[in-house]
Chains A and B, each alone.
Chain A
Amino acid sequence: MALPQIKQDATEVRLAALDLPKGGWAQAAREDALARVRAMGLPSGRDEYWKYTRPDTLVQPDAPKASLLETDETLIFDDVDRLKIVFVDGVFSAAESDDLAMEHVSIDRLADAPDIHWAKDHYGVLETRGQTPVQRPLATLNTAFATDGLLIQVTGKAPKPISVIYRHESETSDAILHHVVKIENGAELTLLENGPAAARFNKCMEVEIADGGVFHHIRAQGRDHERRAATAIFTRLGEESVFKSFTLTANGVLTRNECVIELTGDNAVAHVAGACVGDGDFHHDDTVFITHDALNCESRQVFKKVLRNGATGVFQGKILVKQGAQKTDGYQISQSLLLDEDSQFLAKPELEIYADDVVCSHGSTSGAIDEEGLFYLRSRGIEEGPATDLLTIAFLAEAVMEIEDQAIQDEINSRVEAWLSRRRG
């Protein structure tokens, strides 16, 4: 089908502003991706899949300016024993990063990986699979033009988490990073990510999890108010493997986080969760697609949004249970707490089920602070502000509790608490 002219033009304008990295093992995958982007075109406001979130600033050639957050707080995860990797406006910083070496883990960079590399068979593969039935052209653009990223192969239990820090220093930076993670049979890794990354950030991460593999992902997207991000995670799970991802989003004028999960091995478990707090000029979109294609798999989607001063939250979540995926246990909840009448939450939960022996539940709600609860707390002497915060943090708890590490749960809660108390002045 031919693209509408206007879409084709917008796509070409964007492509003209980018350089396709040349040479190396990724070249074929990049060229393929470029052809695919051209064929599908970049997102426009008319696309069904972008009905609630305007993609224009994510597509336009230049990144809109984003001023830097001024804060003297320590970064989240600073107290975690970890292997640290730093990117500044999308550019790897060797000086600030640890040695890319750890037992059972091999880490290379996309930008300087040797000519023969395991990632050749993986780069762009899950992203390509993730284009059906819904197109995700920003991720394809990423596969074509990513300037760097991490190629992580895990063969045993990683002794400590890998922590990627995305610093933002230039007000007009436009970063495109692409990570490939391969968890081999029975291997385990925790990946932490934090920081705004750039004025505009396009990030794609492909995670292949072999039988019995475990991947935990915890991320805190940076608090710079004007930053924009379009991120996509594509994962495929083998038998008895585990994928758990949690994202905290505080601030950011525009965020679209996509997560595409394929459960292809029996007894696999995939959880994806998000807690976001937004104030004013804030638009946050979680778009999730989970495909059950094996027996007895479990998936959970838990998304909670706290919105105030006209902030907008979006949730599009789908569970597709393929024929034969019996004993599927699918759970999806998306809720928003609206702290005033100006804020809004738009949700589109979907279930599509072709197997008969499955349990799938989904729910979506939007509401204000519970007045009865608030009075109860105040009647015990807790002031209105802190009582509201307590209820707000409690609202987010179901999502935050998806994180297995208690210390990280506590740190997330204390960051949210600080965010809320700053708003009370």
Chain B
Amino acid sequence: MLEIKNLHVKLEEEDKQILKGVNLTVEAGKVHAIMGPNGSGKSTLSYVLSGKDGYAVTEGSATLEGADILDMEPEERAAAGIFLAFQYPVEIPGVGNMTFLRTAVNSQRKARGQDEMSATEFLKVIRAKAKDLQIDAEMLKRPVNVGFSGGEKKRNEILQMAMLEPKMCILDETDSGLDVDAMKLVADGVNALRDEGRGFLVITHYQRLLDHIKPDVVHIMADGRIIKTGGPELALEVEHNGYADILAEVA
């Protein structure tokens, strides 16, 4: 599904190398987790995959189902099936959540040559999905993420993911700022989307999200590289011993 080879990324404005040769393949139907200390480059990887400005790829490649995504505009990547649940969802005053989501769904459909979703069909679908995430009608009407609590923002990200049905879901610290109940809700939302045709890359700082979203593979990232890969037990090891041991081990 997603294949990242020897990816090197630096900041566009500064001579600062952030990713220093990332190799990673996420197969369809699998959940991969990336853990790592703050500043190791996890968010940068998610931004580079989704097409944010400000980063320059100096070496390596990233493909989605064989197609080079690094050359695509952000909206083309989205239509191709990439979705990033933001670590810090952006507030957009003046744009209603519902309008935003319908525009997004229909833009992607148009880009794929599909018919637009009618207003009634859209309403029906979004109501059902919002209900599962305990997002009420009021929240759908409000401007995108404006005045939302941390938990509401994260649930709103998962709602967008559920509506857009991407092939490759990247979640950046979706658990941060969530209490246990909210985390459970978000995890249920993610698990409901687990599917043979869909890949997941779950970025997290802590193991606790992985109790709810069971990963198939766990990677440890440090200083712009994946330094260790293993099964779910690797996350438990981090939980118990922190990153120090692993960092020492590979040093």
B100 touching A380, Cβ below 8 Å: yes
B103 touching A386, Cβ below 8 Å: yes
Q: Which of A373, A376, A386, A390 has the most CB of B within 10 A?
A: A376
Residue A113 lies at the interface, judged by CB distance under 8 Å to chain B: no
Q: Which of A375, A376, A380, A394 has the most CB of B within 10 A?
A: A380
Question: Which residues of A lie under 8 Å from residue B108 when comparing CB positions?
Answer: 380-381
B92 touching A379, Cβ below 8 Å: no
From A373, A379, A391, B51 is in contact (CB under 8 Å) with: A379
The distance from the CB of B198 to the nearest CB of chain A, in whole angstroms, is 17
Interface flags, A318-358, vs B, CB<8A=1, else 0:
00000000000000000000000000000000000000000
B104 touching A381, Cβ below 8 Å: yes
A372: nearest chain-B partner, CB-CB: B90
Question: Which residues of A lie under 8 Å from residue B93 when comparing CB positions?
Answer: 394, 397
Interface flags, B101-138, vs A, CB<8A=1, else 0:
00111011001000000000000000000000000000
Q: Which of A376, A381, A395, A396 has the most CB of B within 10 A?
A: A381
Chain A interface bracket (under 10, 10 to 19, 20 to 34, 35 or more)? 20 to 34
Chain B interface bracket (under 10, 10 to 19, 20 to 34, 35 or more)? 20 to 34
The distance from the CB of B113 to the nearest CB of chain A, in whole angstroms, is 14
Interface flags, B58-92, vs A, CB<8A=1, else 0:
00000000000000011101110001101001111
A383 touching B107, Cβ below 8 Å: yes
Question: Which residues of B lie under 8 Å from residue A383 when comparing CB positions?
Answer: 73, 75, 107
The distance from the CB of B21 to the nearest CB of chain A, in whole angstroms, is 25
The CA-CA distance from A386 to B74 in the complex, in Å, is 13
B94 touching A379, Cβ below 8 Å: no
B74 touching A373, Cβ below 8 Å: no
Question: Which residues of A lie under 8 Å from residue B144 when comparing CB positions?
Answer: 376
B94 touching A393, Cβ below 8 Å: yes
A379 touching B74, Cβ below 8 Å: yes
B95 touching A394, Cβ below 8 Å: yes
B92 touching A382, Cβ below 8 Å: no
The CA-CA distance from A106 to B78 in the complex, in Å, is 59
Residue A121 lies at the interface, judged by CB distance under 8 Å to chain B: no
The CA-CA distance from A393 to B94 in the complex, in Å, is 8
B111 touching A378, Cβ below 8 Å: no
Interface flags, B149-160, vs A, CB<8A=1, else 0:
000000000001
A398: nearest chain-B partner, CB-CB: B94
B51 touching A381, Cβ below 8 Å: no
Residue A19 lies at the interface, judged by CB distance under 8 Å to chain B: no
The 4 A-B pairs of least Cβ separation, nearest first, read A394-B94, A381-B78, A381-B108, A397-B94
Which B residues are within 8 Å of any A CB, using their own CB? 50-53, 73-75, 77-79, 83-84, 86, 89-95, 99-100, 103-105, 107-108, 111, 143-144, 160, 164
